[in-house]
Structure 1
Amino acid sequence: MPRRVDTAEGSRAEPVRAPGPPQLPAERHPVLAPFAAYLDDAEVTDLFVNGAAGLFVDRGAGAEPAREWRATEEEVRDLAVALIGLGGRHIDDASPCVDVRLQGGIRVHAVLPPIAPEGTVLSIRVPRLGAARLDELQQAGMFDEAVRDRLREAIAGRTNLLVSGAAGAGKTTLLAALLAEAPAHERIVTIEDVAELRIAHPHHVRLEARQPNIEGTGGVGLARLVREALRMRPDRLVVGECRGDEVRELLSALNTGHDGGAGTVHANGLHDVPARLEALGAPAGLDDRALARQAASAIGLVVHVERGADGSRRIAGAGRPIVDGDGRLAIEEERWGAR
């Protein structure tokens, strides 16, 4: 197996993150030993193994090669099998792409050859945030005081929120901080493909989807979990990431009295959100005009986050979904800077 190494010190850009120790288990499983030095580094957010080509480490300013880390393709494949097994699943030629969450919230995605023709690929997301708070994110430069106050108004007013952004932009970080502002007596039910939301709230219930087994049975998807969550009397219903037909279930729930809800969606810009929602709604049987009416009625505020080249994260824009003159979904941008 790859050997344990010590990371070298270097200049690093400061990403937005809440202070506090990483929430990893005190006694780490031996399978994770090859990554121990990086998991012990409080700045590491992602690890990428590209077969025998080596390891790349992201400390918030982009992935950089870890030249001291060495492993053969056979060792990387064995490591992938062990990590996926540690997460309670199985990876082989019949199931060559598998995603698991390990104890402490570490997320592992593995792909075997020939799907990955250059060798076994591992993508490991390391949870570094404790319970993020709006004040901490504001102090770190993600937004100013006026925006912070506007976000608090939205939570206090039980506005249904959608946080958009690219991968790694800070959607989950911001959503967790927003939900932490909810009153302590409220029951928050979060639904995620892989449970990542860490919320500083006393009444937070987490539901996690389950992938089908090798026979193709036993799967529990996000759409079903939305329906199950509605039976749990949530005060706030949250879908960690809308990526499929669960968007129909979420919009339906938010349109039937379940205010204060939230979700995230992948989008490159604030005004790209309508097209993204249309793409998600189509497989769920929502045509563009039906989705526009549902989304404009259900969602009160869209907040878009971006990650800069230096690793910094910021709110780049916000707006309200509307139905345009052609009956399609659009975003009416809010000018928070004028507040």
Structure 2
Amino acid sequence: MAQSTAHDELVERLDVDVRSLVRREGVDPQRDSAVVRRIAEGVVRDHDERSLTGAVAPVADVEALVGELVARVSGFGPLQPLLDDPSVEEVWINDPSRVFVARNGRHELTNLMLSPGQVTELVERMLKSSGRRIDVSSPFVDAMLPEGHRLHVVLEGISRGFSAVNIRKFVLRAARLGDLVELGSLTAPAAAFLEAAVRAGLNVLVAGGTQAGKTTMLNCLAAAIPGGDRVVSAEEVYELRFPHPDWVPLQTRQAGLEGTGEIRLRDLVKESLRMRPSRIIV
């Protein structure tokens, strides 16, 4: 316990030093994580050199400490290791002491224990990077994180006891219908039929349960759209990622502090009709 406390105190102290240098250099920690890592490496290196004189305690794992500092300043703190873990598909917080992840479609309760202040600070940082907000008048929010992960927050009061936080990671395992065949998700004849349907311009409805692979399927279907077609997509949050030379992605927007400026999905569909689309993806 004493060793853990000493480590936490060290991280807090070096965190202050890193943030001070970040502000001094005018670095945006969300956009310039490589610069933040360079600063963190310098701060830890200076500390390690001072430890040779006995003035401060030595660092057991320099690389791990640098990573922790970068996660605190530029990433999403204690959640960053879960977001960096390629086996984790989704992370959610029911309350600060109950953080879950999904791996291979199965739920797991992690041993991560957060404080209410940490959760609030993490949500604020995530929303800052997305340009969206949450408050009493707008207690729900969907936002896209820099890595492409989708954030959903339900404010306390609507969610009983504590704000509910979900982070669905963007994991691209298939980019084309042929990839789904290789993964065993589609048969070759089914993939050929769907590709022909898309090329023929038929309407296609993709439906399914949570984590069933709807977005992946839609990306693969969209990749089959001929390059000569003009595509306009309307989404609540940018999630589609497919290669196409003539594609305009549109996203909804929540109302501002004055209660104005909201852009709904139906507004995007209406506007997309005025953009000479060959295909509309909603």
If the length of structure 1 is used for normalisation, what is the TM-score?
Answer: 0.59
Q: Distance in 1 between matches of 2:157 and 2:145?
A: 25
**Alpha-carbon distance, 1:94 to partner:** 4.1
Higher relative contact order (CA 8 A, sep 6+): 1
Q: 2:252 aligns with which of 209, 212, 215?
A: 209
Q: Distance in 1 between matches of 2:172 and 2:243?
A: 11
Q: Distance in 2 between matches of 1:146 and 1:152?
A: 10
Matched residue SS, 2:171: coil
2:139 is aligned with 1:61: no
Q: Distance in 1 between matches of 2:94 and 2:216?
A: 27
Matched residue SS, 1:114: coil
In the alignment, which residue of structure 2 is the partner of 1:114? 157
Query: Contact between 1:131 and 1:200, CA under 8 Å: does it hold in 2?
Result: no
Q: 2:132 aligns with which of 83, 86, 89?
A: 89
In the alignment, which residue of structure 1 is the partner of 2:181? 138
Q: Distance in 2 between matches of 1:189 and 1:139?
A: 29
In the alignment, which residue of structure 2 is the partner of 1:247? none
Structure number with higher helix proportion: 2
**Alpha-carbon distance, 1:96 to partner:** 2.9
Please identify runs of 4+ aligned residues in structure 1 that moved more than 6 A.
none
Query: Contact between 2:223 and 2:242, CA under 8 Å: does it hold in 1?
Result: yes
Query: Contact between 1:95 and 1:214, CA under 8 Å: does it hold in 2?
Result: no
In the alignment, which residue of structure 1 is the partner of 2:86? 42
**Alpha-carbon distance, 1:152 to partner:** 1.5
Q: 2:203 aligns with which of 138, 141, 160?
A: 160
In the alignment, which residue of structure 2 is the partner of 1:229? 272
Matched residue SS, 1:103: coil
Q: Which amino acid in 2 is paired with 1:43?
A: S
Query: Contact between 1:99 and 1:110, CA under 8 Å: does it hold in 2?
Result: yes
**Alpha-carbon distance, 1:227 to partner:** 1.6
Matched residue SS, 2:254: coil
Query: Contact between 2:77 and 2:122, CA under 8 Å: does it hold in 1?
Result: no
Matched residue SS, 1:191: strand
**Alpha-carbon distance, 1:44 to partner:** 2.0
In the alignment, which residue of structure 2 is the partner of 1:292? none
Q: Distance in 2 between matches of 1:212 and 1:75?
A: 27
Structure number with higher strand proportion: 1
In the alignment, which residue of structure 2 is the partner of 1:251? none
In the alignment, which residue of structure 2 is the partner of 1:333? none
If the length of structure 2 is used for normalisation, what is the TM-score?
Answer: 0.70
**Alpha-carbon distance, 1:80 to partner:** 1.8
**Alpha-carbon distance, 1:87 to partner:** 1.7
In the alignment, which residue of structure 2 is the partner of 1:191? 234
Query: Contact between 2:198 and 2:225, CA under 8 Å: does it hold in 1?
Result: yes
CA RMSD of aligned residues (A): 2.3
In the alignment, which residue of structure 1 is the partner of 2:122? 79
**Alpha-carbon distance, 1:234 to partner:** 1.2
**Alpha-carbon distance, 1:89 to partner:** 2.5
**Alpha-carbon distance, 1:138 to partner:** 1.0
Q: Describe how 1:279-290 pairs up with structure 2 within 5 A.
A: none
Task: Structure 2 unaligned segments of length 5 or more: list them.
Answer: 1-7, 9-30, 34-70
Q: Distance in 2 between matches of 1:161 and 1:237?
A: 11
Task: Structure 1 unaligned segments of length 5 or more: list them.
Answer: 4-24, 240-339
Matched length: 216
Q: Deviations over 1:27-82 (max 9, x none)?
A: 38724232221222222221101112321111232221111x11022321222222
Give the percent of matched residue pairs that are identical in Structure 1 and Structure 2.
Answer: 37
Q: Deviations over 1:106-137 (max 9, x none)?
A: 22112232222221211111111176111111
Q: Which amino acid in 2 is paired with 1:148?
A: A
